[in-house]
Amino acid sequence: MRRHMILATAMSAVALMTIAGCSSRADAPDAKGAGGFAKDSLIGVSLPSKTSENWVLAGGLFEKGLKKAGFTGDVQYAGASAPVKDQQDQISAMVTKGAKVIIIGPADGGQLGTQVKAAHDSGAIVIAYDRLILNTADVDYVVNYDPEKVGELQGQALLDGLDAKKKAGPQYIELFSGSPDDANAAVFFNSAMKVLKPRIDDGSIVVGSGQTAIKQTATTGWKAETAQSRMDTILTSTYADKPLDGVLSPNDSLARAIITSVKGAGKPIPVVTGLDSEAESVKSIMAGEQYATVNKDTRALVTKAIGMATSLAAGEKPELNNTRLYDNGVKVVPAYLLVPVIVTKANAAKVYADDPLLAPLTK
């Protein structure tokens, strides 16, 4: 009996040690940052290639913001020709240089497993920025604008724009989605489709080309020229004898490419959605061409990511507000999600009032 008790006690001690051991492992978010690190430590920021204005803005803001917070920043972009390889190499170099936190906007969310594991093995904390890193336990946090909300706003803006036309009979639309290697793309598209589906089902909205599956709508690499040529093809095959009333576009650079295509075909501009508040799209919205964009203020997202690093340096757990959405295939990554805002000509001046780049465009 006594022997059993000793054995049981020894076994629970082993179990406790195992649990204690586990809690310091990389996949236990609570333990991350517990020790803190020096305030002037190296913080790596690895961004994808500059496919849209938000990434261009983010790099500059990270440089300035990290410096202001007292950190040593190392901000890198992937090039256009081999973004995945570039980013893998850059993250490995950041690990070698001893970065304490590595903030990553993945070029391809599924191709960084080896590098983030090396980062973790070296003791660094990994934060996914704007896009999720997939299929790895070695990502600690994600900071983003709520991508479900982004898609819902895009779907609703398309409906609102179509309804404002008060057209009798079915309205014809086309659907575009982002790059399949970006985890945001499917969330944006599926969330927008949830909003559009009842109207597609009741026949008041018709996808003229019949291309409603995400694979058919995808835009690899978020390349504007790819979206433009797909729109060209669809216009020729489907819209010779009917109007195109609306287009679901997942971001601004694709929206403008779609508008260019429609203009080139000599057709009236349909209701086109977007994302990112790119300056050219804000101008287009004010000129009555692009219908809407979604504002994901890059300043706030960068501030939040740097704030996470600051908390971690102080040995504190960063503020999080979502532990549901971001299942990356291996774990649910704890997240801080900011709230995106829809922008049309009607509210642009108000939304951009405190943005020195965009406010003048709305006057």
Residues that bind ligand BGC (CB under 6 A): 51-52, 54, 130-131, 178, 182, 184, 222, 251, 275-276, 296
Q: How many CB atoms lie within 10 A of CB 132?
A: 24
Using Cβ positions, the residue closest to ligand BGC within the complex turns out to be 251
Question: Toward ligand BGC, which CB reaches closer, 230 or 296?
Answer: 296
> In angstroms, what is the minimal distance from the CB of 360 to ligand BGC?
22
> In angstroms, what is the minimal distance from the CB of 296 to ligand BGC?
6
Question: Toward ligand BGC, which CB reaches closer, 220 or 233?
Answer: 220
Return phi, psi of residue 216, to 5°: -75, -25
Q: Say if CB 195 and CB 156 are below 8 A apart.
A: yes
> In angstroms, what is the minimal distance from the CB of 276 to ligand BGC?
5
> In angstroms, what is the minimal distance from the CB of 119 to ligand BGC?
21
Task: Map residue 181 onto helix, strand or coil.
Answer: coil
> In angstroms, what is the minimal distance from the CB of 12 to ligand BGC?
47
Q: Say if CB 212 and CB 200 are below 8 A apart.
A: yes
Question: Toward ligand BGC, which CB reaches closer, 33 or 155?
Answer: 155
Question: Toward ligand BGC, which CB reaches closer, 138 or 182?
Answer: 182
Q: Say if CB 192 and CB 158 are below 8 A apart.
A: yes
- C-alpha span between 10 and 17 (Å, rounded): 10
Give the amino acid at 214: I
- C-alpha span between 238 and 217 (Å, rounded): 15
> In angstroms, what is the minimal distance from the CB of 329 to ligand BGC?
17
Residue 158's Cβ-count burial label (10 Å; 0-12, 13-18, 19+) is: buried
Give the CA radius of gyration of the chain.
Answer: 23
Question: Toward ligand BGC, which CB reaches closer, 193 or 275?
Answer: 275
